[in-house]
Amino acid sequence: MGYARAILRLNEDAHASVAASRFVGKVRIGASEDLASSWLPRTLRRFKALHPEILLEVDVGIPTNLLTALDEDRLDVVIGSGCRGEGRGWRLWREPLVWAFAEQDRIVSSEPIPLAFFPEPCPYREAAIESLAASQLPWRIAYISPSIAGVRAAALAGLAVTPLPRSSLCSGLVSLQPEEGLPILPDVEYLVAVNEAKSFGAVRALADMIRDRATRQGTV
């Protein structure tokens, strides 16, 4: 599979070098931070090589807010996540949402669970609160950060537990298991949605490339 992917990438490079793109203009992209800091930049680089006349603009933010911007025609493509099936668009892949905490620390069972969250509205925050409410466990918000780096730092320091997609765990963080007392969280679905008024041309080509890249990486 690795050789096949390399051949396909070389084929795309060769195509870009000998064929002028038929697309011109601008594509406005919204992306959640966990995707914007991982494989998405590489995908956008490939797209730019194939379509050099396209100007790409990227807005990194919370999926709910990005979808609002899509509806208000301020974005053309949104790549984000949702829980409990409330997302929209084409599914890229699904993975577990987990409780992340410092590998070397332990939760004090006699105290309310300290939590680190993104600001509202956030699908991970909402899913975590719903699961905790159903389990009737005491909890408190100890840390709020608009960035994934911030909530991970809180968890790494042992200050709070934070709900994260499993792929967002980093060195020093572990996923707390059900036997440690926390409720099971729903899966996260990563999705790509397009502005219906512009679901053709360069916008559709980019959405198709994103779906293709996710498939090749075995994430669907």
User: pLDDT (tens digit, 9 = 90+) per residue, 106-146?
Assistant: 887 768 999 999 998 888 999 999 999 998 889 999 999 98
Residues 118 and 173 in one domain: yes
82 versus 4: which is more confidently predicted?
Answer: 82
φ, ψ of residue 115 to 5 degrees: the values are -125, 145
Rounded CA-CA distance 138/119 in Å is 20
What average pLDDT does this structure show over 154-178?
94
Domain holding 167, by residue range, is: 95-188
How many separate domains does the chain show?
2
CATH number at residue 77: 3.40.190.10
As a whole-number percent, the residues of the chain with pLDDT over 70 amount to 86
Rounded CA-CA distance 174/100 in Å is 6
- Return the SS3 of 185: coil
DSSP 8-state assignment for residue 220: -
Residues 150 and 211 in one domain: no
**C-beta of residue 51 within 8 angstroms of C-beta of residue 205:** yes
**C-beta of residue 114 within 8 angstroms of C-beta of residue 159:** yes
Look at residue 157 and tell me whether its pLDDT is greater than 70: yes
Residues 77 and 7 in one domain: yes
Q: What is the mean pLDDT of the chain?
A: 87
What residues have CB less than 8 Å from 174, skipping those under 6 apart? 100, 101, 102, 103
Look at residue 29 and tell me whether its pLDDT is greater than 70: yes
Residues 184 and 106 in one domain: yes
What residues have CB less than 8 Å from 75, skipping those under 6 apart? 28, 29, 30, 59, 66, 69, 195
Residues 173 and 202 in one domain: no
Q: What size, in residues, is the chain? A: 220
Sign of the torsion formed by the C-alpha atoms of 176, 95, 68 and 207: positive
> Which pLDDT score is estimated for 38?
72
